[in-house]
Amino acid sequence: MQQSNGYILRYTAGLTVGCALILALLSLGLKSKQEENVLLQIKKNILATVMTLDEKSNVTDIYGKRVKSYIVDANGDVVKGMKPEGQSSSFVADQYKKPVNERQLPVYEIMNEADSTKSDYFVLPVYGYGLWNNISGYVAIEGDLNTIKGVKFSHVGETPGLGARIADDEIQSRYVGKQIFDGQEVASVVMQKGENGGGNASIAAYKDNAHAVDGMSGATITGKGVNNMLQEYFKGCYKNFFLARRTGNKQASIN
């Protein structure tokens, strides 16, 4: 039986609204689970800068036992009543939109497994802009607040095989052992233009340079983005935190 045009329009509209309502309810119901998964991945990335994790690793348990987290301002002072875990997953990105001297900055202090009063590492989130979109990551610094233990970079849309290599272990390993202080001054670590063959050749080329790593062939702009990102956070955002903690001035306020 042929239906009128009005019936067809009402039926189509009803079906569209019904499907949209179902999808909206599903999205709302899954939102908390999605946020949990994002936060779990953040914890995993933080821990991965200082230790090797496998499928059997209980990330939540390790994080709870080893990580002391807090938020500092640009003066290096702890922001009372705030924890990184209580913020949205976009907290670092949202703070990036503010001037450096107005940002709030998460710090993840990795405590010694045998002595929970001793800091082994400090893991700091960083955020910036690459060739096509945002880049971000975590930098782990040893207890001396100078030597890089490891980095974990990620990107939204860098070129596969070129700028996207910042997420590769082979590139990230080049930062291990580099230093963020040059004497008493906060410096940075610079990725050089071009590449010396990768692997052992890359490590050997910059072995005696505490503030430079081998670059990435064909990814000059992404490399500059990483350099700008690290410089902004080392010499700007976290500078006062570094200086204060190295002299012990902020220890009492953090504990």
56: confidence class by pLDDT, cuts 50, 70, 90:
confident
Mean pLDDT (the chain) is: 87
The two tokens of residue 240 are: 């006062």
Stretch 195-215: mean pLDDT: 83
Is 50 exceeded by the pLDDT of residue 90?
yes
Mean pLDDT of the 12-35 span: 68
pLDDT tier, 255 (very low <50, low <70, confident <90, very high otherwise) = very low
pLDDT at residue number 250: 52
CB contact at 8 A, 110 and 140: yes
Domain ranges of the chain: 59-254
- pLDDT of residue 249 exceeding 80, the answer is no
Output the CA–CA distances (angstroms, integers) from residue 253 to 160, 241, 246, in the order listed: 44, 12, 14
pLDDT digits (tens, 9 = 90+) for 123-180: 999 999 999 999 999 999 999 999 999 999 999 988 898 899 999 999 999 999 999 9
**112: its two tokens:** 């010694």
Confidence of residue 63 (pLDDT cuts 50, 70, 90): very high
250 or 196: whose pLDDT is higher?
A: 196
Distances (CA, A) of 76 to 64, 104, 250: 24, 10, 8
Whether 160 and 218 have beta carbons less than 8 Å apart is answered as no
- The CA angle 217-223-226, to the nearest 5 degrees, is 155
**Which of the four pLDDT bands, split at 50, 70 and 90, describes residue 108?**
very high
What is the structure's pLDDT at 254? 46
pLDDT digits (tens, 9 = 90+) for 178-187: 999 998 899 8
Mean pLDDT score, 83-88:
90
Reported as a pLDDT band with limits 50, 70 and 90, residue 24 is low
Segment 14-27 mean pLDDT: 70
CA dihedral 145, 181, 230, 219 (to 10 degrees): -120
Q: Is the pLDDT of residue 99 over 70?
A: yes
112 confidence band (pLDDT: 50, 70, 90): very high
Residue % of the chain over a pLDDT of 90 = 62
Token pair of 72 as six digits:
């500092």
Would you say residue 201 has pLDDT above 90?
no
Query: How far apart are alpha carbons 190 and 249 in whole angstroms?
Result: 29
Burial state string for 7-30 with b = 16 or more CB within 10 A and e = fewer than 16:
eeeeeeeeeeeeeeeeeeeeeeee
